Amino acid sequence: MNSENQGTREGVENDCAEKSRDANGPARPAFHFTPPTGWMNDPNGLVFYDGEYHLFYQHNPHGDIFGPMHWGHAVSRDLVNWTQLPTALHPDEHGQIYSGSVVVDWKNSSGLGTADGLPPLVAIYTYHHADREKGGRGDHQTQALAFSNDRGRTWTKFEGNPVLGNEKNQADFRDPKVFWHKATSKWIKALAVGDHVAFFASMDLKEWAFLSAFGEGLHTAGNVWECPDLFPLTAPDGGEKWVLIVSVNPGGPQGGSGTQYFIGDFDGTEFTLDTEFSKLLERFGTMWLDWGGDNYAGVTWSDIPEADGRRLFIGWMSNWLYAQTKPSSGWRGAMTTPRELSLARAGGAVLLAAKPVQELARQMPPRKSIIANKSDYSASSAISFEPGEFTIAGRLHPHSSAVISIELRNRSGEWTKIGFNAGGRNFYCKHHVPGENELAKFKSSERRPMPRYADSSEFDLRFLIDRNSVELFADGGVSVFTETFFPVADYEEIRFLAENTSSDEVEIWFSRFANMA
């Protein structure tokens, strides 16, 4: 048994926003969360409590490649500026600390709170026992608890760990996401088990009973399912639908890892697919939360106040194809921008949509218009590169063949282009590198196109551009594409390109992040 205290109040809390702006070359993002040092992958334990958004993450504090997993920890009051806290959970005799979730146990159902009546924060995570795995034992992944009674500053592991054993010796038995199901007054756990998700129920977070499984035999992407999350969203017609997101590796839309989603219903026991969504799966094979190569293992925050009501998401901005060899020094890994998820109707179907959280806009000054207006029906407008937001919107003419994009360039002749092909009804991303350099080691020159689901003549493209990434939110976020790049020198120019279009079809704005560049 282990009830040791993990973490400490000692030491100076590091401002991660300052760390992310240090002089570390073009690899260090300006406004995306990165670890001050060491390796980072999956976001873990996302929870809101007492005015703070907590971000835990898979962390190797001893090196900048994947290693013995801990839970790193940072907090924010605005989802933009982050304060780094001491490591929350360390490996012990039960194993390394793999992915999981955190909930506020408002009624102290676990009994892990204190006499002051304040609810404990309870972490539910996976133990990974590396020696058992090497020895060929199948029970090397089990589920455990830790708790905090001081706003997440220090953590104590539950003395009865593990609380859910791996009785069937399943090699992949991990990444618990837990939430309170009001309709049945139970804690529900979604757990990744091989190629499916298993659901469990508990009254006290300690004892768990199997409920059902989803995904077995379902022919979607991925060999191994990871990091599930199940949550309700309001449908466009005002009803309620449940969304299940699952990360898969391999099988992603650009090769390697990616995150798919399903829409359906959950009755407290089983998750069932919506009939309309099943038809989408027949048509597209897989519905991707993000079609780019660099959004993986994302989950949503628990305990967002009802007065806020948003479903907030963040993902790991990388891909297992190249995550451990991306160019950086002393640190490695970044998160996507936080996003608000919702359901929207586009192309005759209900889809999962994402948009950057509104807190990001508050960091920006009023946007500056750079409207293209060329009589020869082609446009090219360039501005100097600064991390920030770039927006293109307009109305397409019937049967338009417009190709509208942004292009990032540097003095080394490298460029990245991402945009919208109206005639092909898709969004695309291309990279160009002269000769051999870092980018050529990681990325194909042309990424798989993302289909356009919307069928409206109106379009909008919202780009969030950082030093080494671009996130495209198209058609209100029903099509999303996240891509990283690795230039040998900083990009210096952002160029807007419009081909096969007239000047009245498009309008362009640019705004940098006021306190980030």
Contacts of residue 92, Cβ cutoff 8 Å, sequence gap at least 6 = 2, 4, 157
The residue length of the chain stands at 517
- Please say whether the beta carbons of 94 and 101 come within 8 A: no
pLDDT of 490 reads: 85
Q: What is the pLDDT of residues 104-123, one digit of tens each?
A: 999 999 999 998 889 999 99
- The yes-or-no verdict on residue 411 having pLDDT over 70 is yes
Mean pLDDT along residues 23-32: 70
Q: What is the DSSP string of 434-480?
A: SSS-HHHHH--SBPPPEEP----SEEEEEEEEETTEEEEEEGGGTEE
CATH 3.40.309.10 fits 364-512, yes or no: no
pLDDT of 382 reads: 74
Mean pLDDT along residues 416-435: 91
- Which pLDDT band holds residue 11 (cuts at 50, 70, 90)? very low
Q: What is the pLDDT of residues 54-64, one digit of tens each?
A: 999 999 999 99
Residue 16 to residue 450: CA distance in whole angstroms: 33
- The yes-or-no verdict on residue 18 having pLDDT over 50 is no
Q: What is the pLDDT of residues 221-262, one digit of tens each?
A: 667 999 999 999 999 999 999 999 999 999 999 999 999 999
Q: What is the pLDDT of residues 458-503, one digit of tens each?
A: 899 999 999 889 999 999 999 999 999 887 788 999 988 888 877 6
Residue 517 to residue 323: CA distance in whole angstroms: 25
The residue behind tokens 């889809």 is 351
pLDDT of 23 reads: 40
**Helical ranges in 2-83 per DSSP H:** 16-19
User: Which class in CATH covers the domain with range 5-325+334-356?
Assistant: mainly beta
Class of residue 66 by CB neighbours under 10 A (exposed 0-12, middle 13-18, buried 19+) = middle
Bigger pLDDT: 47 vs 434: 47
- Residue whose C-alpha is closest to residue 430's, from 260, 251, 292: 292
Helix/strand/coil for 505: helix
Mean pLDDT along residues 403-431: 93
pTM above 0.75, yes or no: yes
pLDDT of 21 reads: 35
pLDDT of 374 reads: 40
- Please say whether the beta carbons of 119 and 146 come within 8 A: no
- Residue whose C-alpha is closest to residue 79's, from 54, 58, 56: 54
Average pLDDT, the chain: 88
The residue behind tokens 């998750």 is 271
- The yes-or-no verdict on residue 515 having pLDDT over 50 is no
Domain edges within the chain: 5-325+334-356, 364-512
Percent of the chain with pLDDT over 90: 68
- The yes-or-no verdict on residue 128 having pLDDT over 90 is yes
Mean pLDDT along residues 386-407: 87
Q: How far is CA 75 from the centre of its chain?
A: 17
- The yes-or-no verdict on residue 92 having pLDDT over 60 is yes
- Residue whose C-alpha is closest to residue 411's, from 393, 392, 434: 434
pLDDT of 396 reads: 85
pLDDT of 4 reads: 32
- Which pLDDT band holds residue 370 (cuts at 50, 70, 90)? low
- The yes-or-no verdict on residue 381 having pLDDT over 70 is no
* 5-325+334-356 and 364-512 in the same fold: no
Helix/strand/coil for 278: helix
- The yes-or-no verdict on residue 344 having pLDDT over 60 is yes
Mean pLDDT along residues 373-381: 45
Examine the residue annotation and report whether 78 is marked as an active-site residue of this protein.
no
Residue 264 to residue 276: CA distance in whole angstroms: 9
Element (H, E) at 279: helix 275-284
Which tokens in the block code for residue 172?
């992949």
pLDDT of 441 reads: 63
pLDDT of 17 reads: 33
Q: Which of 22, 42, 78, 105 is catalytic?
A: 42
pLDDT of 54 reads: 98
pLDDT of 305 reads: 97
Q: Computed over its alpha carbons, how large is the radius of gyration of the chain? A: 23
- Which pLDDT band holds residue 328 (cuts at 50, 70, 90)? confident
- Residue whose C-alpha is closest to residue 55's, from 312, 259, 290, 237: 312
Helix/strand/coil for 9: coil
**Angle, CA of 487, 490 and 493, to the nearest 5°:** 105
